[in-house]
Amino acid sequence: MGSRSSAPDPQRARSAGSPRGRRAGARSGTRASATPSADDPEDLVAAGSSGTVEQAKEASLRLLAVRARSRAELSRRLTMKGFAPETIEAALERLAEVGLIDDAAFAEQWVYSRHTFSGKGKQALARELRVKGVAPTEAAAALSAITSDDEAARATALIRRKIRTPITDPDKTLRRLVAMLTRRGYSPATAFAVVKAELAQADSEKPPPEFD
């Protein structure tokens, strides 16, 4: 018997032309290699280089362009990007020399913004500054700008937005509002005094009962 001539298999042809077949072909082909860009320090670090001081500075400046950061925050981010500790220290020191890193100024800005616009109390702000790696002396100096009168006034403004009248259960309302203020970082003493005063004020403003 003569050898049978091989004809194209229609099923194979359809498979090769299908999206699944094209994807399989693409996987079996040579994958294009991504070449690290010399202009992007993060690409260089990802490619196995520990990066230079200049590249670490550029990465820091990009982070600072998004928002202000403490020195410790920048150090952590640069470490995550793969820069060597000595490279990070040299880069951050240069930025500090020209005033682009200043933990004292950062702490002042953070405390003012979070207290004024987010209503955070001093205890919460102290915790946040610790998380950001601000030194205790610089944190204390920034927090000292908030007086006890400032805290009471800010807490009062928060409570006035939360009081719902008529107050049907004063004790429950007192506990709920005091808990809210302590979660925001106000001391229990400040929270209790402010809430008690505002509830008394709300009670005094109730219209008198009507008698037939």
- Only one residue has tokens 């509002």, namely 177
Give me the number of domains the chain comprises: 3
CA–CA separation, 209 and 75 (whole Å)? 64
State which residues form the domain around 62.
Answer: 39-101
- Residue 125 and residue 134 in contact, taking contact as beta carbons nearer than 8 Å: no
Residue 202 CA, chain-centre distance (Å), reads: 37
Residue 139 CB-density burial (10 A; 0-12 exposed, 13-18 middle, 19+ buried): buried
Question: For residues 123 and 196, what is the distance between their CA atoms, to the nearest angstrom?
Answer: 21
Residue with tokens 């294009």: 32
- Burial category of 59 from C-beta neighbours within 10 Å (exposed 0-12, middle 13-18, buried 19 and up): buried
Same domain, residue pair 94 and 110: no
In a domain, 30, yes or no: no
Q: Is residue 5 situated within a structural domain?
A: no
Q: Confirm whether 18 is domain-assigned.
A: no
How much is the CA Rg of the chain, to the nearest whole Å? 31
Specify whether the CB–CB gap between 145 and 112 falls below 8 A.
Answer: yes
Tell me, what DSSP letter sits at residue 25? H
Residue 202 scores a pLDDT above 80? yes
Residue 34 lies in a domain: no
Q: Does one domain contain both 115 and 142?
A: yes
When comparing pLDDT for 165 and 1, which is higher? Answer: 165
Is the domain of 71 the same as that of 106? no
Predicted TM-score (pTM) of the model is 0.72
The answer to whether residues 60 and 97 belong to one domain is yes
Query: In the predicted model, is pLDDT for residue 207 greater than 90?
Result: no
The predicted-structure confidence for 129-146, as pLDDT tens digits, reads as follows 999 999 999 999 999 999
Closest CA to 155 of 142, 166, 146, 167: 146
At residue 203 the predicted structure's pLDDT band, cuts being 50, 70 and 90, is confident
Residue 60, pLDDT score: 98
Is residue 10 included in any domain, yes or no?
no
161-199 residue pLDDT tens: 988 777 889 999 999 999 999 999 999 999 999 999 999
Q: Are residues 162 and 192 in the same domain?
A: yes
Same domain for 154 and 189? yes
Tokens of 190: 């400040």
Asked if residue 161 is part of any domain, the answer here is: yes
The Cβ of residue 29 has, within 10 Å, a number of other Cβ atoms equal to 8
**CATH number of the domain that residue 109 is part of:** 1.10.10
Least confident of 25-39, 82-96, 109-123: 25-39
Q: What is the pLDDT of residue 166?
A: 79
Note whether residue 141 is domain-resident: yes
Site of tokens 């008529």: 166
pLDDT over 80 (residue 123): yes
Output the average pLDDT for the chain. 82
Question: In this structure, are 159 and 199 located in the same domain?
Answer: yes
